Structure 1
Amino acid sequence: MTEEQEQEQIKDFGSKFDLHPGIPEGTKHSFNAGDMADEAGMRAFIECYRPLIKGLDDKVAATYFAGAFGNIALAVQYALTVASAVPVVSLQRLSVHLIPADGYWRAAFSLGEWSFEPAPAEAGQRREWRNEQLIRFYRDTAAPMLSMLSRVTGLSGGEIWGQLPTKFNYYLEVFTSGGLPERLLNTLQDDYRYLCEEIPAEIFGLKKNPFRVQVRKLESLADPDKTVNMRNRCCLYYRTEGGSYCYTCPRLKEEERAVRRTEFRKPASAGQA
């Protein structure tokens, strides 16, 4: 990869995954991920983050941050398949930034130093390289921080890690419906299959691989001819000030979902009449 290609790749990460080469514009608070892997650092982050998102308890901050961190995991997966060069995302290089945005706060990320691990030139060595890259990221970067997030907030590891598959499955559908060449599509699916089915649960610090989930389809809120994915785990939005269960929440009863569809579609029906 040339220097010009690296710069284009870094720019792409910023627009797609909110992972930047420097502190993003508008940042009000910043934290080093290495510090967040320690109890004191994680507590400092949660104490700052929870009131910003109007969380009623620390567990809300845990789900919200885990959802945001899914962008970094997805960036690694995307780079692995599409770019054949994975950015080195270590805890000490990674920073978290809290930014006000249209009435809410987003968690963005940056790497203080950028370097890439390119795929081997020989195709036969790619699978071993892929396995190594994914295991290293989840074992050395994701697991230490998310395990500490669980310890500090009291939310189970399964609930925290469970925020990631929803995002992964959504983007997988986006990528696979985008007319990818068959060879790249096969690679994408095989790389995701490895993540879901072959990485041992202990790499994540869990008893079960959190990506090994069944996707459940729901009738779209707006269009009865379309479907959307049910969330894998509740994001705890209902535990924020003025919050409620999301339409795709697994905790929402089907009867309540049906009522929401009816209510949502009423204005459209009235307008047509």
Structure 2
Amino acid sequence: MDRPSYEDLLERHFNLSSIDKEHVYKEIKLITFFHADKSQQFLHEYAKQIKAKEPQVPATYFFSMFGLTVSSFLAMLALKKVVVPISLETISAQLYRNETYKINTIALRLHSNDWKVGDGSREWRRQEISLLFTSTVTPLLDCISDQVQIRPRELWGQLLNGLEYGKTIAIQLAETADERQAINDDFHWLTKQASHDLFNSLKNRLDFPLKEIENPSVPGQMQRMKATCCLYYQTEGSKGKCYTCPRMSVKEREIRKKEIVAEVTQ
């Protein structure tokens, strides 16, 4: 197993690092989110970083990013037949100063070398994905949603946004038709067919309806509306809701569409 090259792939494409970032000023292990006082301290610092006006905003931002991490887990199962050791105990979130771009930002850090090789079968991949959700993803999401008083549905939608972005990356990394098929099959299974037991719910919490709107930058081309709102409009300096926001009214979207078209055609 070529672990160094796998770690490099995760850092370059999925923002998951196996070494500490420089200039880290706040860090928390995922398991520590279950301690409300320490969780609130970290989320408060993250809220200041993204200039959030409400305590729910850092939660939506975090789970969009965490969705990318989860997608890396699925990608490595399909592409390399390896299990990335992602768990509540092995992942931390680091707030740090990026001196190159002179900004404060966030990254996830992997603290384990316990990678495992599998047979690559569909059954094996689904078993590993199920274990990741029941032991890590779902408990973490339920915990944070309760702490910041936001509906779990809102965070599942953000996780889905990150997952879908990561899927496009995984497809680009695939070298064979079989690898691309495995990625498509696993993402479809997870978001449409996986048991509700994975989500501590009566339904598959990632099964959001597909709603499309016209891409204002490419006339005639459709793009997916986000599953839930990221709450960007609740940050300082925002220009309002995103064009793909499900909370945007038809009238608001038409106004925003005209603004985007004007910007593109300048």
Task: Check whether TM > 0.5.
Answer: yes
| Gap change, CA 1:90 and 1:52, over 3 Å in 2 | same
Is residue 66 of structure 2 the alignment partner of residue 69 of structure 1?
yes
How many aligned residue pairs are there?
263
Deviates most, 64-73 or 181-190? 181-190
Instruction: Please list, as runs of the form range in 1=range in 2, the aligned pairs for 1:250-261 lying within 5 A after superposition.
Output: 250-261=246-257
Cα distance in 2, alignment partners of residues 75 and 36 from structure 1: 22
Cα distance in 2, alignment partners of residues 37 and 50 from structure 1: 18
1:246 aligns with 242
C-alpha contact 1:60 1:239 (8 A) present in aligned 2: yes
C-alpha contact 1:157 1:206 (8 A) present in aligned 2: no
Cα distance in 1, alignment partners of residues 132 and 85 from structure 2: 8
Q: 2:3 aligns with which of 6, 17, 40?
A: 6
Q: 2:213 aligns with which of 206, 212, 218?
A: 218
Structure 2 letter corresponding to 1:8: S
Q: 2:30 aligns with which of 33, 39, 43?
A: 33
2:88 aligns with 91
For residue 148 of structure 1, give the secondary structure of its aligned residue in structure 2.
Answer: helix
Instruction: Please list, as runs of the form range in 1=range in 2, the aligned pairs for 1:72-221 lying within 5 A after superposition.
Output: 72-100=69-97, 102=101, 105-120=104-119, 126-173=121-168, 175-176=170-171, 181-221=176-216
C-alpha contact 2:213 2:223 (8 A) present in aligned 1: yes
Shift of 1:155: 0.6
| Gap change, CA 1:74 and 1:226, over 3 Å in 2 | same
Structure 2 letter corresponding to 1:98: L
For residue 213 of structure 2, give the secondary structure of its aligned residue in structure 1.
Answer: strand
For residue 106 of structure 1, give the secondary structure of its aligned residue in structure 2.
Answer: strand
Cα distance in 2, alignment partners of residues 75 and 221 from structure 1: 30
Cα distance in 1, alignment partners of residues 166 and 65 from structure 2: 14
Cα distance in 2, alignment partners of residues 135 and 73 from structure 1: 12
Instruction: Please list, as runs of the form range in 1=range in 2, the aligned pairs for 1:38-49 lying within 5 A after superposition.
Output: 38-49=35-46
Structure 2 letter corresponding to 1:210: R
The percentage of aligned residue pairs carrying the same residue is 24
Cα-Cα RMSD: 2.2
In structure 1, the gaps of 5 or more residues are: none
Deviates most, 248-257 or 192-201? 192-201
C-alpha contact 2:130 2:198 (8 A) present in aligned 1: yes
Deviates most, 149-158 or 169-178? 169-178
2:260 aligns with 264
| Gap change, CA 1:103 and 1:132, over 3 Å in 2 | same
Structure 2 letter corresponding to 1:168: L
Q: TM-score, normalised by structure 2?
A: 0.89
For residue 96 of structure 2, give the secondary structure of its aligned residue in structure 1.
Answer: strand
The higher radius of gyration belongs to 1
